[in-house]
Amino acid sequence: MKVALYEGVRSIKIEERPKPTAGPGEVVVKVKYCGICGTDTHAYMHEGLMTPGTVFGHETVGIVEEIGSGVEGFAVGERVAVGAPGSCPEGCYFCRSGRSTLCVNGFARTLGIGPGTQGAYAEYVLAKYPNRMLIKIPEKVKFEEAVLFDIFSTAYHAFRRSSFKGGQKVVVVGAGAIGLSMVQILKATGADYITVLDLDAKKREFALSMGADLALNPIEYPDIKGKLNEVYNGLGPDIVFECAGNPKAVGTAVDVCRPGGEVILIGTNPEPLSTINEIQIGLFELDVKGSFAYNEDEIRTVLGFMEKGKINTNKMLNKIVKLDDVQAALEELSKTTEPVRYAIKL
């Protein structure tokens, strides 16, 4: 089978490998689509984020090709999403506690992310833990929709990490793929008012089309906190979801949140946070929470939302490329700031 191997910064090699076979307790999935994640793009651009020799690809949908002995609940030909491993067989502390996104084995076992793993920039993938990794795709959901499960599930996990209640007023900082997904989830679950902050005019326009009530460029306002206080009855938003993943965005999120409110950090960035201070958090009793990835049940919920039409994937998938063209696609994604999502079709 053909795979796209990550060799190092800005280097992808197409090579042939043996097709995997399903051993006891395992399932082989024929890949139909694989999303190109922002993580893949960052790793392609910057040294040290991923291990050379890894085949990228963790946003995977496909068809069950082969089932190993002892596997129950799946049939050859079924359409599935391939998620993270979820709860580990060893039953680490975090998995036993219902926090599988923090699993001590999760990173190493996540296809396309764990060092040297073979993800879905390939024609086939091997699911070693099918009961945790494979989620059946509802009949009404197309592959082109289902391949977006990662961005919506990431947003939905962050939503669940928050204390959101219907009728609350919220702000979403950053209108990339995760931020746009968050807007839709908040709209579907009864947010009273959603404001999106983003520097890019196209992203702001897209956010409004996805259900945001207001979209602002924060640098156009000398006092963005004051502006939002005007919008939110003098108090500010109840919850701020930071989806941009940079120190300035975190600073903005903390600054605009109302006293006693909540800030959920979804974006990821290794830079030190010099944009916030303890007084902002302590004096105003803000609750600041991190959010990472998602679990298999959240994927099921998101696919159910798609099936019922509660979230709209229209225009979220901008381009479909062939495996041979994945390096060119990563180069394009490394240069754009538009709200784009690419997928590989195999």
Which of the residues 42, 51, 101, 189 is marked catalytic? 42
Q: For residue 129, what are the β-bridge partners?
A: none
Per-residue HEC secondary structure of 257-319 comes to CCCCCEEEECCCCCCCCCCCCHHHHHHCCCEEEECCCCCHHHHHHHHHHHHCCCCCCCCCCCE
Q: Could you confirm whether 252 is annotated as catalytic?
A: no
In the chain the beta strands, taken as DSSP E runs, fall at: 2-8, 11-16, 27-36, 59-67, 79-82, 124-127, 134-136, 169-173, 193-197, 214-216, 239-242, 262-265, 287-290, 319-321, 342-345
Per-residue buried b or exposed e for 235-274, using 16+ beta carbons within 10 Å of the residue's own CB: ebbbbbbbbbbbbbbbbbbbbbbbeebbbbbbbeeeeeee
Contact status, residue 135 vs residue 129, Cβ threshold 8 Å: no
Instruction: Quote the tokens at residue 334.
Output: 């490394």
Q: Could you confirm whether 42 is annotated as catalytic?
A: yes
Contact status, residue 218 vs residue 210, Cβ threshold 8 Å: no
Which of the residues 21, 39, 54, 252 is marked catalytic? 39
Residues acting as catalytic residues: 39, 42
